[in-house]
Amino acid sequence: MSHLTQRVLAAEPSVWLVAVLGIAVVFVGLIAIVGIVWLMNKICDFVASKAKREPAPTVPQAPEAKPAAAIPNRQEILAAVCAAVAEENGTDISAIRVISFKKL
């Protein structure tokens, strides 16, 4: 063997050292993840408790809804809607039967 090959082989770490270092790195990473999650939990709790302490702004009451007035040109609107539906479906307007037409 050459002198360089002997130095490279002598510099290799033992199998146990590699295994222990690998396991240690994994556990250090897991502990770091647990710490980050714990810290985020504390931050979220702090923000939630701060928001809870502050009084919520009062929302003014909405006025009572008045009953809907009759639609003045109901037949014209119904004809326009039926024409649009017939055009979209590719059918004749006489093939459309309106059961109910309510204002939302």
* Residue recorded with tokens 């290799």: 12
Annotate 40-53 with b (16+ C-beta within 10 A) or e (fewer). Answer: eeeeeeeeeeeeee
Please tell me the pTM assigned to this model: 0.40
State the pLDDT confidence band at 68, using cuts at 50, 70 and 90. Answer: low
CA distances from 92 to 12, 81, 82, 87, 97 (A): 85, 13, 10, 8, 11
State the pLDDT confidence band at 20, using cuts at 50, 70 and 90. Answer: very high
pLDDT of 45-66, one tens digit each?
998 888 777 666 677 777 776 6
**Range with lowest mean pLDDT among 21-25, 62-66, 94-98:** 62-66
